[in-house]
């Protein structure tokens, strides 16, 4: 491989959003007769069909999306050590993520900012994944060709599919909610499948 850059999604990739996601669901269903389990089961059903589970469940139940609780996010246990390993192996690291304002500040508070050479987020750029423009902006700023880069993310629709269509290598991390996505939708677009971020050490040696 001639990989020079490794780009990461954040949520459910480097950062555990479980409680933030659950918090928003509780906010959305407050005052309704929809239980948490009912909503959760419906989004799992949509995810298995290759759809974006949260968005489809919100539409199905006619709910209004409530604000995201960034304060509930925490880095996964192995994120720091894995990023440190990759950086020491000479890889350039970047972020391509759909995030609210303040991503750099949150990364800094978690001690992760030092590892990243560029950070591209939807809030700052005004373009969200899976729009290819957010990826192309990352190529422009990094001066990296898609074929010299890899995208690591948990979402087939937002991370893996657009990255592959641009010529990037792809790593699908299946944990948290993405374990409910039918793996057949990753056929021909996923180069590696991992279950924990530390598994990258076995790929990029």
Average pLDDT by stretches of 10, the chain with 205 residues:
94 96 97 97 92 93 94 96 98 96 95 97 94 97 96 94 97 91 88 96 94
Instruction: Say what the pLDDT of residue 52 is.
Output: 86
Q: Where in the chain is the domain with CATH 3.40.50.1000?
A: 5-17+73-203
Instruction: Say what the pLDDT of residue 55 is.
Output: 92
Instruction: Say what the pLDDT of residue 51 is.
Output: 86
Q: Which CATH architecture has domain 5-17+73-203?
A: 3-Layer(aba) Sandwich (3.40)
CB 76 within 8 A of CB 197: yes
Instruction: Say what the pLDDT of residue 119 is.
Output: 97
């Amino acid at each position: 491989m001639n990989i020079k850059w490794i780009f990461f999604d954040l949520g459910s990739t480097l950062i555990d959003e479980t409680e933030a996601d659950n918090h928003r669901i509780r906010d959305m269903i407050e005052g309704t007769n929809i239980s948490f389990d009912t909503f959760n089961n419906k989004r799992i059903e949509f995810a298995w069909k290759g759809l974006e589970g949260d968005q489809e469940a919100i539409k199905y139940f006619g709910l209004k999306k409530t604000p995201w609780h960034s304060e509930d996010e925490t880095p996964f246990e192995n994120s720091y050590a894995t990023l440190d390993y990759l950086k020491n192996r000479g890889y350039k690291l970047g972020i391509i993520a759909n995030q609210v304002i303040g991503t750099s500040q949150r990364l800094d508070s978690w001690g992760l900012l030092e590892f990243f050479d560029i950070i591209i987020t939807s809030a700052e750029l005004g373009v969200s994944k899976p729009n290819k423009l957010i990826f192309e902006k990352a190529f422009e700023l990094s001066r990296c060709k898609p074929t010299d880069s890899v995208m690591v993310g948990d979402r087939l629709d937002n991370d893996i599919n657009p990255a592959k269509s641009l010529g990037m290598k792809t790593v699908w991390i299946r944990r948290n909610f993405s374990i409910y996505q039918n793996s057949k939708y990753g056929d021909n677009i996923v180069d590696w499948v991992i279950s924990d971020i530390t598994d990258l050490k076995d790929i990029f040696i």
